[in-house]
Amino acid sequence: MSDYRPPLRDIRFVLDHVVGVDELTKLQAFSHVDREVIDSVLDEAGRLMAEVVAPTNRVGDEIGAVHHDDGTVTMPEPLKEAFATYVTSGWNAVSAPAAYGGHGFPEVVGLAVQEMLTSANMALSLCPMLTHSAVSAIYRHGDDEQKATWLEPLISGQWTGTMLLTEPEAGSDVGALRAKAEPADDGTWRIFGTKIFITFGEHDMTENIIHLVLARAPDSPPGTKGISLFIVPKLLLDESGAPTVRNDVTCVSIEHKPGIHASPTCVMSFGDGGDGAVGYLLGEVNHGMRAMFTMMNKARLEVGLEGLAVSERSFQQALAYANERRQGRAVGAPTGKSSPIIEHPDVRRMLMTMKANIEAMRALMYDNAAAIDRAHNAEGPDERSDADARATLLTPLSKAWGTDLGVEMTSLGVQIHGGMGYVEETGSAQHWRDSRIAPIYEGTNGIQAIHLALRVLPMDGGAVVGAYLEEITAAASEAEADTELASLGAGLRAAVAGLRDATQWMLDTDDTNDVLAGASPYLRAFGVVAGGYYLVKEALAARRLASPGTNGFLDAKTDTARFYVSQILPQAAAQYSAVTAGADQLFAVDPPTLEA
Ligand SMILES: Cc1cc2nc3c(=O)[nH]c(=O)nc-3n(C[C@H](O)[C@H](O)[C@H](O)COP(=O)(O)OP(=O)(O)OC[C@H]3O[C@@H](n4cnc5c(N)ncnc54)[C@H](O)[C@@H]3O)c2cc1C
């Protein structure tokens, strides 16, 4: 048993009152799914994550993945066992397409399972996360033969998938990559080059690993327009379809990192043997970025989810500690006896900040996943394209706001533990260390903010963001009409008005450098306001369900929204002077004079 308790009550509340899961399951694609089945899936997944996976988090951190001279990487034994149980119980396949052995649940249900897996062991969760992304890329861009060959074992978890973009000279600038792909006579390709920082590029949990590799075909144009995507298995399949033939790809080394020690971060070399690694083109030549984006959008949401999931684990631990640890005497407590630190206002502030942000993140991310579900499965083309636009808007918020908060919330988790948080004994520091990577990979948060500002806001002439802001305004009006929630409505109305002005500034400003300079504070403000929207929405739902004072969980929803609206939401307004300041101040001090 572990200290992790799956937050099923809140997950169900979000599914019911934010996502509208009953409406979602009415779609033809989900006709085999109903609320009862979803409930039992969540219960069972929660049990496995708490009982089997969560106890491996500490040992995974302590032992970590180990690279050997022969290029193999071994995982700590308890993680191998937990992964095997996860796979044999079918959890890898929750939202994968039924035609290839998946269970065909909505993405949002898969996301709930992934949240619990990530809370239980973030390092391990990266392997299924990347495998799910590989599945969507092959499912959406592969030909029939590729789907028939690769999907089933990836969906079941018999094999795992990776995503290989990064090279020493190509990080955020993917278009600078140099890995080469040469056509072979038999229609396959030969891949040469080096990729760095590849998550689960090598491990011993499964017999085969399917790499999705970006490389350049001969005579391709420079930049992202000349990139193609290839399926490159670690072991090639023999005539019977069994993975028995070693491909020319090796794991040269793995990185040493502050966190996610059980996630091997590999330097991968292709073609060292001379002939090149055998690869199969996925999609069309020079259209690799399109296929890779299919992987990246799903992966970005699931990386955002890491911010939520690790914050949740950190919060549960901090809450338990705050109840146990006694220091000082709280105001009004009897003399001669120290109080549990949870009685001190400053500790309560930290706990409430964690709780409110966690619930806000969960609502945003589940809404994001439901938008992806509707984008693929809604009945009409207009509904599908509206949902797709909504998912495109919410994804950079989930990724960047969620992972920045992940670092901040896990840092609060450490703070609540005092000195015991900074030493490794309590495990609180591990969450903080683990969370630190998430703002960096899958497109740094700076790149997410730029994407939001330059590509997402202008969609449909600003209509997509405009519709979302209207939705927030409508929630503010609804809250204002309820005497109990009127102050929440007023706070949200003021916040969305500020965000609307800032959005207009971003859309109207011609100087791109000024827009780029304001992008990160703008994304932050957007995340904070979106968080307020979801918590007010939840408070409205709680009001509809029960009168105040009759249900502790529902009362807490309203109280948490009140805390957020009066103490966190105003932080959005504090961003706007940075949003609209332009770039001049940032460049006023020349690089040589930056040094004091
Ligand atoms: C543990 C780990 C696991 C990873 N897993 C994978 C994986 O599985 N597959 C894979 O392909 N990659 C992986 N990566 C690589 C990761 O995606 C990159 O590190 C990331 O995209 C950033 O690239 P970079 O490190 O080269 O940083 P750089 O691109 O050099 O960025 C450095 C800084 O400059 C900023 N910056 C860069 N360009 C711009 C710009 N145009 N405008 C504004 N700011 C800019 C960045 O935001 C950042 O703050 C992983 C990395 C790590 C550390």
User: 164: CA distance to ligand 1 center in Å?
Assistant: 12
Shortest-distance atom of ligand 1 to CA 443: 21
User: 171: CA distance to ligand 1 center in Å?
Assistant: 5
List, in sequence order, every beta strand (DSSP E) within 114-168: 160-164
Whether 406 contacts 308, CB under 8 Å? yes
Is residue 538 flagged as an active site residue?
Answer: no
Q: Whose CA is nearest to atom 23 of ligand 1?
A: 171
Report the DSSP beta bridge partners of residue 251. Answer: 268
Pairing relationship of beta strands 189-199 and 180-183 according to DSSP bridges: antiparallel
Q: Whose CA is nearest to atom 14 of ligand 1?
A: 197
User: Among 166, 203, 265, 267, which residue has the most ligand 1 atoms within 8 Å of its CB, making it the best to mutate?
Assistant: 166
SS3 210: strand
Catalytic residue among 44, 442, 471, 595: 442
User: Among 441, 447, 448, 516, which residue has the most ligand 1 atoms within 8 Å of its CB, making it the best to mutate?
Assistant: 441
Q: Hey, what are 488's tokens?
A: 């929440």
Q: Whose CA is nearest to atom 4 of ligand 1?
A: 197
Whether 243 contacts 207, CB under 8 Å? yes
Shortest-distance atom of ligand 1 to CA 171: 26
Whether 257 contacts 437, CB under 8 Å? yes
- Per residue in 85-143, pLDDT tens? 999 999 999 999 999 999 999 999 999 999 999 999 999 999 999 999 999 999 999 99
What DSSP letter does each residue of 250-276 carry, written as one string? EEEEE---SS-TTS-EEEEEESTTSS-
Q: Hey, what are 185's tokens?
A: 């006579």
Segments of the chain with pLDDT less than 50: 1
List, in sequence order, every beta strand (DSSP E) within 200-316: 209-215, 228-233, 235-237, 243-246, 249-254, 265-270, 277-282
Q: Whose CA is nearest to atom 40 of ligand 1?
A: 447
User: Among 214, 440, 514, 515, which residue has the most ligand 1 atoms within 8 Å of its CB, making it the best to mutate?
Assistant: 440
User: 238: CA distance to ligand 1 center in Å?
Assistant: 37
Which residues have CB under 6 Å of ligand 1?
163-166, 171-172, 197-199, 257, 265, 437, 440-441, 444, 446-447, 450
Please list, in sequence order, all residues whose beta carbon lies within 8 angstroms of the beta carbon of residue 120, skipping any fewer than 6 positions away: 2, 4, 49, 50, 53, 54, 56, 57, 313
Question: Which pTM was predicted?
Answer: 0.97
Q: Hey, what are 154's tokens?
A: 């990836």
Shortest-distance atom of ligand 1 to CA 164: 11
Whether 563 contacts 345, CB under 8 Å? no
Which pLDDT does position 548 carry in this prediction?
85
Shortest-distance atom of ligand 1 to CA 195: 11
Q: Whose CA is nearest to atom 7 of ligand 1?
A: 198
* Amino acid at position 530, single letter: A
User: Among 130, 172, 512, which residue has the most ligand 1 atoms within 8 Å of its CB, making it the best to mutate?
Assistant: 172
Q: What is the rounded CA–CA span in Å between residue 544 and residue 498?
A: 29
Shortest-distance atom of ligand 1 to CA 170: 26
User: 329: CA distance to ligand 1 center in Å?
Assistant: 47
Q: What is the rounded CA–CA span in Å between residue 267 and residue 234?
A: 14
φ/ψ of residue 130, rounded to 5: -70, -30
User: 299: CA distance to ligand 1 center in Å?
Assistant: 15
Q: Hey, what are 578's tokens?
A: 């940075």
Closest CA to 107 of 9, 33, 211, 46: 33
Q: Hey, what are 216's tokens?
A: 């350049």
Whether 297 contacts 391, CB under 8 Å? yes
Which pLDDT does position 1 carry in this prediction?
45
Burial of 493 (0-12, 13-18, 19+ CB in 10 A): middle
b/e per residue 340-379 (b: at least 16 CB within 10 A): bbbbbeebeebbbbbbbbbbbbbbbbbbbbbbbbbbbbbe
Q: Whose CA is nearest to atom 27 of ligand 1?
A: 171
Handedness of CA 106, 108, 114, 120 (dihedral sign): negative
Q: What is the rounded CA–CA span in Å between residue 531 and residue 97?
A: 31
Q: What is the rounded CA–CA span in Å between residue 39 and residue 8?
A: 9
Q: Hey, what are 502's tokens?
A: 């800032």
b/e per residue 497-517 (b: at least 16 CB within 10 A): ebbbebbebbeebeeeebbbb
Locus of tokens 């149980």: 85
Shortest-distance atom of ligand 1 to CA 445: 47
Shortest-distance atom of ligand 1 to CA 173: 29
User: 439: CA distance to ligand 1 center in Å?
Assistant: 9
b/e per residue 307-338 (b: at least 16 CB within 10 A): bbbbbbbbbbbbbebbeebeeeebeeeeeeee
Q: What is the rounded CA–CA span in Å between residue 278 and residue 235?
A: 10
User: Among 444, 514, 586, which residue has the most ligand 1 atoms within 8 Å of its CB, making it the best to mutate?
Assistant: 444
User: 302: CA distance to ligand 1 center in Å?
Assistant: 17
Q: What is the rounded CA–CA span in Å between residue 263 and residue 122?
A: 9
What is the separation of C-alpha 389 from the centre of its chain, rounded to a whole number of angstroms? 18
User: 441: CA distance to ligand 1 center in Å?
Assistant: 6
Whether 188 contacts 156, CB under 8 Å? no
Q: What is the rounded CA–CA span in Å between residue 300 and residue 129?
A: 10
Q: Hey, what are 429's tokens?
A: 């520091």
User: 449: CA distance to ligand 1 center in Å?
Assistant: 14
Shortest-distance atom of ligand 1 to CA 199: 8
Q: Whose CA is nearest to atom 26 of ligand 1?
A: 171
Q: Whose CA is nearest to atom 53 of ligand 1?
A: 197
SS3 66: strand
Q: What is the rounded CA–CA span in Å between residue 557 and residue 534?
A: 11
Burial of 173 (0-12, 13-18, 19+ CB in 10 A): exposed
User: 353: CA distance to ligand 1 center in Å?
Assistant: 29
SS3 581: coil
